[in-house]
Structure 1
Amino acid sequence: MPSTPKPEGQAPEGRFVKVCPLADIPVDGVLGVEVDDTPVALVRSGDEVFAVNDICSHAEVSLSEGEVYDGTIECWLHGSCFDLRTGKPTNPPATQPIATYRVKVQDGDVYVSLDGGDE
C-alpha cells in the first residue's frame, strides 16, 4: 500500500511533533523545549531519549535545570527525583508524578507526542 505524504514537522503516525535534532540534547543530559505550549524536558540517557513535563510537581520550577542520573531527573530546588519512564517521584518532597510523553527518533530528529496514547 503506498504511503501518503505527511505534513512537514510530523512523524509518519501524525501524532508526533518534530522538536529538535538529536544532537541538540546533551549525552546523559537534558534540554528544555516547548511542544504545543507545553514545557517539556528532553533527556538523553545512553541511547534512549525520554520526554517528561518540565515543571516539578512539588515546587513548579523547571526540571530541565536539574541533574540526570540513574534513570531519573532531579529538581534543582529541593532535590525531588522523578523516574524518566513513569514520571513517579522516587523521593520526597514531591509526592505527585509528572507527565511523561512518547518519543521517537527518526532520521536524526526527535519527535514528541503529548497525546499519551499507545503506538
Structure 2
Amino acid sequence: MTIHDLFALDEIDAGTARKIVLEGREIALVRIEDDVYALGDTCSHADVSLSEGFVEEDECAIECSRHGALFDLKTGEPLSLPALRPVPVYGVTIVDGRVQLTIEDAAEESQ
C-alpha cells in the first residue's frame, strides 16, 4: 500500500472534479463538501474522462459527459445505463487539511 500526499483540501473546490495521473493510473478526484472521493477516470462504457463530467452532489455521484452514465463515488458502481461495469475506487483521507490517496499494491488488490 502506498499513500500519496496530493494537495491541500482548499485547492479543489466543492462540487468539482479534477484528473491526476499517479503510478500510471488516471484518477478522478471529486470533492463534495469536505469529502474527497477518488475513482478511475475512464468511463467503463465509453473511453471518456469522468473528471470532465458533471458532479451530482446530492447523489454522491459523477455523470459521464458523453452518454450520461452515473457512477457512485463511494463504490464506483454504475447507477444508470449505459454503463454496466464499475470503475475502480481508491481510498482518500484528509490529514491536517491535506488530501491523501491510497493505492493498493498489485498483490493486495488481487486478494
Q: TM-score, normalised by structure 1?
A: 0.81
Deviations for 1:79-118, whole angstroms, at most 9, x for unmatched residues? Answer: 000000110000000000000000011122211112186x
CA RMSD, Structure 1 to Structure 2 (Å): 1.5
Instruction: Determine the structure 1 residue equivalent to 2:103.
Output: 114
Given residue 110 of structure 1, which amino acid in structure 2 is its aligned partner?
V
- Equivalent residue of 1:41, what SS? strand
* Structure 1 position 98 matched with structure 2 position 87: yes
Corresponding residue number in structure 2 for 1:65: 52
- Residues paired across the two proteins, number: 104
**2:72 aligned partner:** 83
Q: What residue number does 1:30 align with?
A: 17
Distance (whole Å) between structure 2 residues aligned to residue 37 and residue 22 of structure 1: 23
Q: Cα deviations across residues 52-105 of structure 1 (Å, max 9, x unaligned)?
A: 111101101100000111210000001000000110000000000000000011
Unaligned stretches of 5+ in structure 1? 1-13
Deviates further, 15-24 or 46-55 = 15-24
Matched with 1:42 is 29
Q: Deviations over 1:1-27 (max 9, x none)?
A: xxxxxxxxxxxxx72111222122111
| Structure 2, gaps ≥5 residues long | none
By relative contact order (CA 8 Å, sep 6+), the higher-ranking structure is 2
- Deviating runs (4+, > 2 A) in structure 1? none
Matching residue's letter, 1:42: L
Query: Higher strand share goes to which structure?
Result: 2
Report what 1:9 is aligned to.
Answer: none
Alignment partner of 2:42: what SS? coil
